[in-house]
Each structure stands twice: as C-alpha cells, then as structure tokens.
Amino acid sequence: MTEAAHMLEGRCLCGSVRLVVQGTGDSIEVCHCSMCQRWSGGPLFCLHGLPEDAITITGEEHVSRYTSSEWAERAFCSRCGSNLWYHFVPGGTRALMAGLFTLQDDVKIGMQIFVDERQPWARLAAETPEKTGAHVVAEAKAAGFGFD
C-alpha cells in the first residue's frame, strides 16, 4: 500500500478537534489497564505508537491535557469531552482513540495489553496476542524507559 492509502482523518464528537494521521491504521491495540478503564469506561481501543510527526492536529486550542502518571498524558476535547489520545511522554508517541476514525473493514485488533486487569465482561471474541501489565512494563524497561 502507498503512504496515501494509510492516511486517516478523524475528529471529536463536536468536530472542534480534527486529526490527520499518516502511515498507520492497520491494527488496533486494546488496553485493559485500570486507568484506561476509568478514562474510557471500558477497554481503550486505539491506534498506538504513533510518532508526533505522523499526526496533524487542527483545533489545538480545544485540546485539554491531563498528566495521569509520571510517563503519561491524556488529552480530550474541552468543548465536547471526547477522549483524544494517550501520550507516552518518554517515547514521544501517542495512542489515538480508534473511535475518532472511520477505519477500513480489514482493520483488526493486533494486541491486547494489561490483560491481567481486564474486567470479566470485557473479554473480546477476537483471538489476539495478549500481554500482562508486568510484560508491558518489562518490555518498556528493556527499551530504556524507567518506571516505579
């Protein structure tokens, strides 16, 4: 596929914040951690690991940010409240809420993380690779990111 075929356009509920993403959209990651559950009302479905330069934001003045931990920032639209992204600050990447975009039918769930914190009612029918929170943190530490 060409780079143009991987361009996605999304927006918040009211349309004040618009996002254009280059070079992604092939799979969705699902996070079951307790923080994502509280933030999204269930598992977090996202386009993950996106570098800052792959995302163009229009309506930045309507983006509110919340520092949810030493390494994470979460953003939402200040007008309609739509959750926008999770920003992994040490890595400089973002996970954009999948529901902001109209994705192609062939987009599948690529990974589920923090499955040890998954609610019993949040089991997905899709057969996907799964990682526990300990596994995710160990991988991040191995990549040079520090966590307490």
Instruction: Check the CA dihedral 106-107-112-118 and report its sign.
Output: negative
Buried b (16+ CB within 10 A) or exposed e, 77-93: bbbeebbbbbbbeeeeb
24 within a domain of the structure (yes/no): yes
147 within a domain of the structure (yes/no): no
**Number of structural domains the chain divides into:** 1
Domain span at residue 57 reads 4-142
27 within a domain of the structure (yes/no): yes
148 within a domain of the structure (yes/no): no
47 within a domain of the structure (yes/no): yes
Consecutive sets of 10 residues in the chain, 148 residues long: mean pLDDT of each? 66 97 82 95 92 92 95 95 93 92 86 96 93 93 78
65 within a domain of the structure (yes/no): yes
34 within a domain of the structure (yes/no): yes
So what's the pLDDT on residue 52? Answer: 86
So what's the pLDDT on residue 83? Answer: 97
91 within a domain of the structure (yes/no): yes
The CATH number of residue 34's host domain is 2.170.150.70
